[in-house]
Amino acid sequence: MELLHQAEEIINQRYRILRKLGQGGVGITYAAVDLESGKEVALKVLSLRRMSDWKKMELFEREAQILSQLNHPAIPRYLDYFQVDTNSDRSFYIAQQLAPGNSLATLVENGWLPDEEEVRQIAIQILEILIYLHSLTPPVIHRDIKPQNIIFTSDSKRLFLVDFGAVADTYHNTVTGGSTVIGTFGYMAPEQFRGQAFPSTDLYGLGTTLLFLLTGKSPSDLPQRKLKIDFRSDVNISKDFANWLEQMLEPVTADRFPSAEVALATLLGQIAFIPRRPKKSHLISIATENYLIVEIPPGCFYNNYSFPFLFFYLVVYGILGLISWIIFFDYNISSLFWLILFSLSPGIIILIIFITPQIIIVFTPQTLLLPVKLFKLLFYKPLSPIITLFLNSVSSTLLQIDQDYISLERWLLDCCIQRIKISKSDIISVGFKGMMHYKFSNILILYSLKSSEIEENKRFRFGAFLTQQEKEWLVWEIRNHL
């Protein structure tokens, strides 16, 4: 793109061009002097005659509109928007405060190679800017985080984020369903190739920018493995920082940090790393910002420990049943029914002990609940670990969280044997309940139940046969949605 203006040229009788700062997909940016204030400004110009795509005009106008609404010390202040008409052309201009310093791209090209701590501090500053942008209503997504758009002042170590020409707000992105591919190759998140952008899209751009600072190479020049940048052999950084950077660079949006706040808190060590869902998992889940649905199938269908548990249960009680048949029923074929019933009785008893109180509590007046509570205390509590293991083996669990409630259901042979609906405000804690061995620890949801004037703490245990990684991921997801 040839220059639209030369040095010393006066624009709109107010701005005197000094030099070209850069050019991108939308316009050319110049350094200029505001003749009224005497201060240097950045002047971005788009020529209508030289415009090859009307989309550029839309982006230019949107950039001016959004810049006029931003107020952050690390984003150059918006000053003016105007147009200039000539006999052969119409040009549009955005005037902004000029950010002092050089771009990260220029600094690296001149031989600067920052160490891990310097890169970490850059990441912190950019994340703070993204937290501001993404917290706006609607959230503003930059979509073009790259070294050329980050200005660094070497003396004060301050950063400025510039060039909002690719900016999108989530309303425009989700409602209109824009499909235009916008961004810079090598720094674009995979979803941008499909014309999509989310707040985590900017996290990917930041991750690739940090990778450029650490290696001095364009991310597109680094090796890839399964669509993921394989950078570890090209950097000399701590394991924790490498793990953090790897999560920023996940090609699937759901595997990245869910927000800039979480990414920053993790980088600063304020929270632990977010567990990731295992690639091979029997969990069936749907998660959005507003709700979470997770189905856990019966443990006997997927866990190596669950099936031996059931087999051991059947063998032990089958032997006991056989002995009883020999002793008490004189090998009578007609008593085979009693043998089978006796062998299966523990499971039947477990279900009766588990289900009966649930039914009685629903249909029994408050004044008659004492015998039921006594029954649960004498039988249910001591057998609780066995009951939980048995139910996790043979029943599925359905968990649903919306904006107000968490719903928990157990299903056995297409029959719902337990259903609980809890207000989010009644949830006390979500964590693990150890039992026998960590492999069999349950996910435990502790909640308060208010009935008349009585408030009682209740527990719901599930997921005993999930893997450790599945449990950690699911507990984090539940906490996050609560």
Is residue 160's pLDDT more than 90? yes
Is residue 319's pLDDT more than 80? no
27 residue type, one letter: G
- Sheet of 415-423: strands edge to edge? 284-287, 292-296, 396-401, 405-412, 415-423
Is residue 311 included in any domain, yes or no?
yes
Is residue 284 included in any domain, yes or no?
no
pLDDT of res. 283: 85
Average pLDDT over residues 27-35: 90
Q: Among all chains, which residue has been given the structure tokens 């968990």?
A: 399
Which one of 239, 274, 309 terminates a domain?
274
**Shared-domain flag, residues 320 and 202:** no
Is residue 474's pLDDT more than 60? yes
Higher pLDDT, 465 or 399: 399
Percent of the chain with pLDDT over 90: 32
Mean of pLDDT over the chain: 78
- Sheet of 427-435: strands edge to edge? 427-435, 437-451, 454-462
Please give the torsion angle defined by the CA atoms of residues 475, 478, 480 and 482, in that order, rounded to the nearest 10 degrees: -140
For the question of residue 234 being annotated catalytic, the response is no
pLDDT of res. 449: 67
pLDDT of res. 334: 52
CB within 8 Å of 385: residues ≥ 6 apart = 435, 436
Is residue 336 included in any domain, yes or no?
yes
**Shared-domain flag, residues 412 and 431:** yes
Is residue 465's pLDDT more than 90? no
Structure tokens at 482: 């609560």
392 CB-contact burial (10 Å; exposed 0-12 / middle 13-18 / buried 19+):
buried
Is residue 317's pLDDT more than 80? no
Sign for the CA dihedral angle at 223, 229, 231, 234 comes to: positive
**Shared-domain flag, residues 233 and 329:** no
**Cα–Cα distances in Å, from 308 out to 254, 282, 411?**
35, 19, 21
Is residue 151 included in any domain, yes or no?
yes
pLDDT of res. 177: 38
Is residue 233's pLDDT more than 60? yes
Which one of 73, 97, 121 terminates a domain?
97
**Shared-domain flag, residues 269 and 304:** no
**Shared-domain flag, residues 370 and 432:** yes
Q: How far apart are CA 26 and CA 185, in angstroms?
A: 15
Q: What is the pTM of this model?
A: 0.60
Higher pLDDT, 167 or 338: 167
**Shared-domain flag, residues 332 and 434:** yes
**Shared-domain flag, residues 348 and 448:** yes
Is residue 289 included in any domain, yes or no?
no
Is residue 89 included in any domain, yes or no?
yes
pLDDT digits (tens, 9 = 90+) for 406-446: 998 888 777 887 888 888 888 877 877 654 444 556 777 77
Higher pLDDT, 156 or 43: 43
Number of domains comprising the chain = 3
Query: What is the DSSP-derived secondary structure letter of residue 188?
Result: S
pLDDT digits (tens, 9 = 90+) for 51-78: 777 777 888 888 888 899 999 999 999 9
247: enclosing H helix or E strand: helix 239-248
Structure tokens at 410: 């157990």
Which one of 97, 116, 131 terminates a domain?
97
**Which of 76-90, 240-254, 344-358 bottoms out in mean pLDDT, i.e. has the lowest?**
344-358
**Shared-domain flag, residues 169 and 148:** yes
CB within 8 Å of 455: residues ≥ 6 apart = 448, 449
pLDDT of res. 206: 97
**Shared-domain flag, residues 153 and 194:** yes
CATH code where residue 148 lies:
1.10.510.10
Sign for the CA dihedral angle at 204, 207, 209, 215 comes to: negative
Is residue 168's pLDDT more than 70? no
Which alpha helices (DSSP H) does 81-193 contain, by range? 104-109, 116-134, 170-175
Q: Which of 144, 163, 169, 202 is catalytic?
A: 144
**Cα–Cα distances in Å, from 469 out to 62, 292, 438, 446, 472?**
43, 18, 12, 21, 5
Average pLDDT over residues 380-385: 54
**Shared-domain flag, residues 32 and 47:** yes
**Shared-domain flag, residues 119 and 80:** no
Percent of the chain with pLDDT over 70: 71
473 CB-contact burial (10 Å; exposed 0-12 / middle 13-18 / buried 19+):
buried
**Of 73, 76, 50, 49, whose CA–CA distance to 63 is shortest?**
76
CATH code where residue 35 lies:
3.30.200.20
- Residue range of the domain that includes 174: 102-274
CATH code where residue 357 lies:
2.30.29.30
**Shared-domain flag, residues 14 and 52:** yes
**Chain centroid, CA 48 distance in Å:** 41
Average pLDDT over residues 212-225: 92
Q: How far apart are CA 267 and CA 289, in angstroms?
A: 22
